């Protein structure tokens, strides 16, 4: 039986938001067992909170946004990917600004600060959602299916008509070791011809060659090389890991994604919740399944966290 994990102490990362272009900082704090991951903001001497669950899903246009009553958090997928990839179940992610920091466009800087925090094993067992029958979502040529599998696995396929990308397929065995070695370092990518269109819609305003792989019509705009020849499909695996974590429980199944994106990732999470006959919960307490199905049993606005010292203060 595996146990839940949190962090030994808090750690911080500052930068700018990839899409907003505004200053963005996070502090990641330890949290008690069965907390899950909760975004928090310290305002007027108390914390406002937004659990990182699908109930609080906002827009999924080029990034995944969570929307609570009091605030929103843009581009949650890379920090959530790092937490899920390292199998950290419980954490408070304190936010300054409206977006997580872009860092270098990958999850590697988040992995680094999580290791700076130290990972702490807790007494409570970790519960898992085990897929027992296939669940699928599709949208024209895009699709994701999750199949029963003994081990958590992701196979992602992409097809972009660009000489440096074209068709790429990557199969990822979901372990912290594989995540750190093969997925965490894969950066966000964009196409130069789309950049102005993104800007016109208020997206990618913090994007730069420091935090994004930018493809010209035939090559790469960045001076440095790709970190992996198939960096793009590896980044899609990262995005999927982050988005799937909005289920609030790790899944044992084999995900097969074809040309998908944040919106379809989120639709799959919703489809899993709508089909409770197609999965079972392992190591569950009595009310666990109901709790997961409700998905919104955490307080959505103001919470009192007496054990936590805020990292940021707002005027
Ligand atoms: Zn991404």
DSSP assignment of 239-270? HHHHHHGGGSS-EESEEEEES--HHHHHHHHH
Q: How many Å lie between the centroid of ligand 1 and the Cα of residue 238?
A: 7
Q: How many Å lie between the centroid of ligand 1 and the Cα of residue 136?
A: 22
Q: How many Å lie between the centroid of ligand 1 and the Cα of residue 186?
A: 9
∠ CA 128-133-137, rounded to 5°: 95
Closest residue by Cα to residue 214 from 206, 205, 223 = 223
State whether residue 19 is helix, strand or coil: coil
Query: Which residues in 109-216 belong to E strands, given as ranges?
Result: 119-125, 128-131, 135-139, 142-147, 153-160, 166-173, 189-191, 213-215
Average pLDDT of the segment spanning 34-62: 89
Position 299 scores a pLDDT of 43
Band of residue 69 on the pLDDT scale cut at 50, 70, 90: confident
- CATH 3.30.1700.10 domain residues, the chain: 128-291
Position 293 scores a pLDDT of 59
- CATH 3.30.230.20 domain residues, the chain: 3-126+296-303
The helix or strand, by DSSP H or E, that contains position 9, with its residue range, turns out to be none
Q: Is 112 within 8 Å of 234 (Cβ atoms)?
A: no
Q: Is 259 within 8 Å of 142 (Cβ atoms)?
A: yes
Q: How many Å lie between the centroid of ligand 1 and the Cα of residue 260?
A: 12
* Edge-first strand listing for the sheet containing 251-252: 251-252, 128-131, 279-282
Residues 23 and 205: their CA atoms lie apart, in Å, by: 12
Position 37 scores a pLDDT of 95
Q: How many Å lie between the centroid of ligand 1 and the Cα of residue 56?
A: 19
State whether residue 204 is helix, strand or coil: coil
* Catalytic site residue from 235, 262, 265, 291: 262
CATH 3.30.1360.120 fits 128-291, yes or no: no
Q: Which residue would you say has higher pLDDT here, 312 or 289?
A: 312
Q: How many Å lie between the centroid of ligand 1 and the Cα of residue 187?
A: 7
User: For residue 48, is pLDDT > 60?
Assistant: yes
Total count of residues recorded for the chain = 315
Note the pTM of the prediction, 2 decimals: 0.92
Mean per-residue pLDDT over the chain, rounded: 90
Quick one: CATH architecture of 3-126+296-303? 2-Layer Sandwich (3.30)
Q: Which residue would you say has higher pLDDT here, 140 or 169?
A: 169
Q: How many Å lie between the centroid of ligand 1 and the Cα of residue 251?
A: 20
Q: How many Å lie between the centroid of ligand 1 and the Cα of residue 48?
A: 26
| Beta bridge mates, 279 | 131
Least confident of 50-64, 91-105, 274-288: 274-288
Q: Is 254 in the active site?
A: no
Q: How many Å lie between the centroid of ligand 1 and the Cα of residue 63?
A: 7
Position 290 scores a pLDDT of 59
Residues 38 and 301: their CA atoms lie apart, in Å, by: 11
Q: Is 208 within 8 Å of 251 (Cβ atoms)?
A: no
What are the tens digits of pLDDT across the range 172-213?
999 999 999 999 999 999 998 888 788 788 888 888 899 999
């Amino acid at each position: 039986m595996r146990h839940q994990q949190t962090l030994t102490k808090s750690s911080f990362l500052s930068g700018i938001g990839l899409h907003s272009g505004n200053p963005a900082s996070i502090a990641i704090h330890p949290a008690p067992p069965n907390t899950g991951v909760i975004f928090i903001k310290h305002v007027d001497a108390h914390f406002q909170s937004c659990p990182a669950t699908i109930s609080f899903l906002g827009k999924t246009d080029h990034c995944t946004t969570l929307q609570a009553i009091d605030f929103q958090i843009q581009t949650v997928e890379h920090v959530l990917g790092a937490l899920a990839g390292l199998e950290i179940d419980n954490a408070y992610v304190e936010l300054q600004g409206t977006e997580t920091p872009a860092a270098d466009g990958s999850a590697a800087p988040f992995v680094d600060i999580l290791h700076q925090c130290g990972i702490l094993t807790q007494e409570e067992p970790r519960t898992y959602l085990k897929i027992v029958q296939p669940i699928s979502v599709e949208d024209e040529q895009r699709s994701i299916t999750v199949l029963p599998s003994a081990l958590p696995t992701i196979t992602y396929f992409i097809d972009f008509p660009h000489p440096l990308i074209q068709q790429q397929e990557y199969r990822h065995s979901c372990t912290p070791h594989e995540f750190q070695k093969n997925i965490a370092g894969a950066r966000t990518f964009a196409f130069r011809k789309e950049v102005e269109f993104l800007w016109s819609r208020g997206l990618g305003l913090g994007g730069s060659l420091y935090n994004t792989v930018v493809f010209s019509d035939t090559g790469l705009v960045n001076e440095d090389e790709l970190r992996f020849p198939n960096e793009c499909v590896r980044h899609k695996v990262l995005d999927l890991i982050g988005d799937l974590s909005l289920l609030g429980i790790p899944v044992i199944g084999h995900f097969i994604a074809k040309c998908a994106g944040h919106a379809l990732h989120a639709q799959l999470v919703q489809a899993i919740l709508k089909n409770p006959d197609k999965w079972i919960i392992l190591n569950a307490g009595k009310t666990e399944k109901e709790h997961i199905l409700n998905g919104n049993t955490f307080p959505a606005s103001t919470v009192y966290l007496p054990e936590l010292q805020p990292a940021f203060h707002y005027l």
